Amino acid sequence: MSDHERAAAVSRETGETTIDLTLAIDGDGDSEISTGIGFYDHMLTSFAKHGLFDLTVDCDGDLEIDDHHTVEDVAICLGEAFDEALGDKRGIRRYADRRVPLDEAVASVVVDVAGRPYYEFSGEFSQESVGEFTSVMADHFALSLAHNAGLTLHAAVETGDNAHHEVEALFKALARALDDATRLDGRRSDTPSTKGEL
């Protein structure tokens, strides 16, 4: 079993964004989020709440251009934080599969915390944007998270006609699946792989 606090702090500074992020995997769902994009703040707050992750994000990005760099770079930092906080992944459940509805929308996520980045997405978003958030950036968020956390991740928006609901269902499915997959299994003391490492 893990004998350290599963938490990490990540900072990133480029010509496009300046980010400070902290993550505690075994949290209470508390968050303090400031990205400059209201809907993205809402999605990250929801992600923390439904995954029971404690999360702080402070991002100053080039929003005068668009939302791309802010959404992508926060996802990169979040992925790096998961990877660091999980360490050798000893004792985790590793796999999870979640489907989440939000009114007419349904999203699904299947994840393997494998240390091998792979990502597939299917579906589409019914409107181009939600507030200042470009809908397809939800797909790019999941891609960037998977690549930087070392996840094999298959995500889908199965149905819906409201982009707010479709994106939110996807973020909630990500949260629930990651909570399940990173949870410690009391029956396991080793890393869940026949190779001995992930």
- Per-residue HEC secondary structure of 25-47 comes to CCCCCCEEEECCCHHHHHHHHHH
Q: 175 near 168, Cβ under 8 Å?
A: no
Q: What is the pLDDT of residues 138-147, one digit of tens each?
A: 999 999 999 9
Is 176 strand, coil or helix? helix
3-state helix, strand, coil in the chain (%, to 5): 35, 30, 35
Share of the chain above pLDDT 70, in %: 98
Confidence at residue 3, expressed as pLDDT on a 0 to 100 scale: 47
Q: What is the pLDDT of residues 156-172, one digit of tens each?
A: 999 999 999 999 999 99
Q: What is the pTM of this model?
A: 0.97
- Evaluate if residue 15 carries a pLDDT over 50: yes
Beta bridge partners of 23: 8, 55
Delimit the domains of the chain by residue range: 7-182
Q: What is the pLDDT of residues 67-111, one digit of tens each?
A: 999 999 999 999 999 999 999 999 999 999 999 999 999 999 999
- Evaluate if residue 119 carries a pLDDT over 90: yes
Q: Give the C-alpha separation, 79 to 147, whole Å.
A: 7
pLDDT bin (cut points 50, 70, 90) of residue 198 is: confident
**Sign of the torsion angle spanned by Cα atoms 69, 72, 76, 81:** positive
Cα-only R_g, the chain:
16
CATH tag, 7-182:
3.30.230.40
C-alpha closest to that of 73 among 52, 51, 58 = 58
Q: 2 near 184, Cβ under 8 Å?
A: yes
Q: Which residue has the higher pLDDT, 46 or 193?
A: 46
- Evaluate if residue 1 carries a pLDDT over 60: no
Q: Give the C-alpha separation, 21 to 15, whole Å.
A: 18
